[in-house]
Chain A
Amino acid sequence: MSKQIRVLLADDHAVLRAGLRALLNGQPDMEVVGEAEDGESAIREVTNLRPDVALLDVNMPHLDGLAAIPRLRLAAPEVRVLVLTMYDDEGYLRRALENGAAGYVLKKAADTEVMAAIRAVARGETYIYPSLTHLLVNRYLGRPEDARPSLSPSGLSERELAVLKLLAAGYTSLQVGEQLGLSGKTVETYKARLMDKLSLRSRAELVRYALRHGLLTTGD
Chain B
Amino acid sequence: MSLRLLALADRVSIQVKIMGIVVGLVVLLGLGATYQLHAHLAEVLGRELDERAVSVARDLAARSSDLILTNNTYGLYELARDTLENNRDVRYVIVLGSDGTPLVHTLGSAISDALVEANAVTAQGRSHLEVLATEEGLIRDVAVPIFEGYAGTARVGLSDRRMVTELEASTRQLLIMTGVVSLLGLAFAYLLTIILTRPVSELVNVVRAVERGDLGSRVRPRTRDEIGVLGQAFNAMAESLARSHRQGEEYNQRLLRRNRELAALNLMASAVSQSRSLHDVLDTALDRSLQLTALAAGWVWLLEPDGTSLRLGAQLGFSDAGLPSSETQGRDECDCRAVIASGQARFVESAAGRCALLSRLGYYGHLSVPLVAKGRTLGVMNLAAATEREFAREELDILAAIGSQIGIALENARLWEEVTRKEELRVQLLDKIISAQEEERKRIARELHDETSQALTSLLVTLRLMEESSDQGEVRPRAREAREIAARTLAAVHGLARELRPSALDHLGLGPALEHHAREYATRHRLEIDFQLTGMEGLRLPPQVETTIYRVVQEALTNVARHAKARRVAVLLERRNDRVVGIVEDDGCGFDPKRFEMDGNESGLGLFGMRERAALVGGTLTIESCAGVGTTVFVEVPLVEVTVS
List A residues at the B interface (Cβ < 8 Å).
58-59, 64, 66, 86-87, 89-92, 94-95, 107-108, 111, 145, 169-174, 184, 188, 192, 201-205, 207-208, 211, 216, 218-220
Q: Which among A169, A171, A174, A202 is the interface contact of B568 at CB below 8 angstroms?
A: A202
CB distance from B376 to the nearest CB of A (A): 16
Partner of B624, one of A87, A173, A205: A173
Bound CA–CA A104/B569 (angstroms): 31
**A contact patch SS:** helix
Question: In the bound complex, how far is the Cα of B530 from the Cα of A205, in angstroms?
Answer: 8
Closest 6 CB pairs of A and B: A91-B512, A218-B535, A202-B570, A204-B532, A170-B581, A204-B530
Chain B nearest CB: distance from A167 CB in Å? 10
Residue of A nearest to B586 (CB): A202
Quick check: is B218 within 8 A (CB to CB) of the other chain? no
Decide: A58 and B624 in contact? CB cutoff 8 A.
Answer: no
Which of chain A's residues have a CB closer than 8 A to the CB of B578? Answer: 219
Most buried by A among B483, B503, B569: B503
Contact assessment for B508 and A172 in the assembled complex, using a CB-CB cutoff below 8 Å: no
Q: Is B629 an interface residue (CB 8 A)?
A: yes
Complex Cα gap A37–B564 (Å): 48
Contacts of B494 in A (CB 8 A): 86, 108
Determine if A87 and B504 form an interchain contact, defined as CB atoms under 8 angstroms apart.
yes
Residues of B within 8 A of A169 (CB): 574, 576
Judged by a CB distance under 8 angstroms, whether B490 is at the interface is: yes
Contacts of A220 in B (CB 8 A): 535
Question: Shortest Cβ distance from B488 into chain A, in angstroms?
Answer: 10
A204 to B574, CA, bound (A): 10
Contact A188 B534 (CB under 8 A): no
A-B contact count (CB 8 A): 104
* Known A92-B504, A201-B568, A202-B568: A170·B576 in contact at CB below 8 Å: yes
Pairs across A and B, CB under 8 Å, 6 listed: A89-B513, A90-B516, A91-B512, A171-B576, A172-B622, A204-B570
Whether A204 and B575, one on each chain, are in contact in the complex, defined by CB atoms closer than 8 angstroms, is no
Q: Are B507 and A66 in contact (CB under 8 A)?
A: yes
Q: Do A170 and B507 touch across chains, with their CB atoms under 8 A apart?
A: no
Report the nearest A residue to B536, measured CB to CB. Answer: A218
Chain A residues positioned under 8 Å from B515 (CB to CB): 90-91
CA distance A86 to B494 in the complex (A): 7
Q: What chain A residues lie within 8 Å of B576 (beta carbons)?
A: 169-171, 218-219
Least CB distance from B526 to A in Å reads: 17
Assess whether A184 is in contact with B530, with CB atoms less than 8 Å apart: no
Task: Verify B624–A204 contact, CB threshold 8 A.
Answer: no
Q: How far is the CA of A59 from the CA of B503 in the complex (A)?
A: 9
Which residues in B have their C-beta under 8 angstroms from that of A216? 534
Known contacts A170-B572, A219-B575, then 9 further A-B pairs from the complex at CB < 8 Å, ordered by chain A residue: A91-B516, A95-B507, A170-B576, A170-B634, A172-B624, A172-B634, A204-B530, A216-B534, A218-B576
Interface centre among A95, A172, A205 (most CB of B within 10 A): A172
Assembly CA distance A177 to B123 (angstroms): 154
Q: Do A207 and B622 contact each other (CB < 8 Å), given the known contacts A58-B507, A92-B504, A188-B629? A: no
From the candidates B531, B626, B636, name the one contacting A204 in the complex (CB within 8 A).
B531
Note all chain A residues with C-beta closer than 8 A to B632.
172-173, 203
Bound: A173/B632 CA distance, A: 10
Q: How far is the CB of B550 from chain A (nearest CB, A)?
A: 13
Residues of chain B with a CB closer than 8 A to A208's CB:
532
- B507 contact set on A, CB distance < 8 A: 58-59, 64, 66, 87, 92, 95
Q: Is the CB of A170 within 8 A of B574?
A: yes
For B287, the chain A residues whose CB sits under 8 A away are none
Asked if B583 is at the interface of the complex by the 8 Å CB criterion, the answer is yes
State which residues 534-557 of B face A: CB under 8 Å.
Answer: 534-535
In the docked arrangement, what's the CA distance between A115 and B348, Å? 92
Could you say which residues of chain B place their CB within 8 Å of the CB of A184? Answer: 624
Q: Is the CB of A202 within 8 A of B585?
A: yes
What CA separation (Å) do A199 and B516 show in the bound complex?
A: 27
B13 contacts chain A at the CB level, 8 A cutoff:
no
Task: Indicate whether B487 reaches chain A with its CB closer than 8 angstroms.
Answer: yes
Knowing A58-B507, A219-B577 are in contact, say whether A207-B532 is a contact too (CB < 8 A).
yes
C-alpha gap A108/B636 in the complex (Å): 38
Does B392 reach chain A (CB closer than 8 Å)?
A: no
User: Which residue of A is nearest B508, CB measured?
Assistant: A91
The reply to whether B508 and A92 contact each other, CB–CB distance below 8 Å, is yes
Tell whether B26 is near chain A: CB-to-CB under 8 Å.
no
* Contact B513–A91 (Cβ < 8 Å): yes
B571 at the interface (CB under 8 A from A): yes
The answer, yes or no, to whether B294 is at the interface (CB within 8 Å) is no
Question: How far is the CB of A72 from the nearest CB of chain B, in Å?
Answer: 17
Contact indicator A203/B624 (Cβ below 8 Å): no
B491 contacts chain A at the CB level, 8 A cutoff? yes
Closest to A169 in B: B576
Residues of B428-481 contacting chain A, CB below 8 A: none
Residue of B nearest to A108 (CB): B490
Interface centre among A87, A94, A95, A216 (most CB of B within 10 A): A87
Taking the closest CB of chain A, its distance from the CB of B631, in whole angstroms, is: 12
Q: Give CA–CA (A204, B487) in the complex, Å.
A: 37
Which residue on B lies nearest to A219, using beta carbons?
A: B577
Docked pose: A94 CA to B533 CA in angstroms:
16
CB A10 to nearest CB in B, in angstroms, measures 16
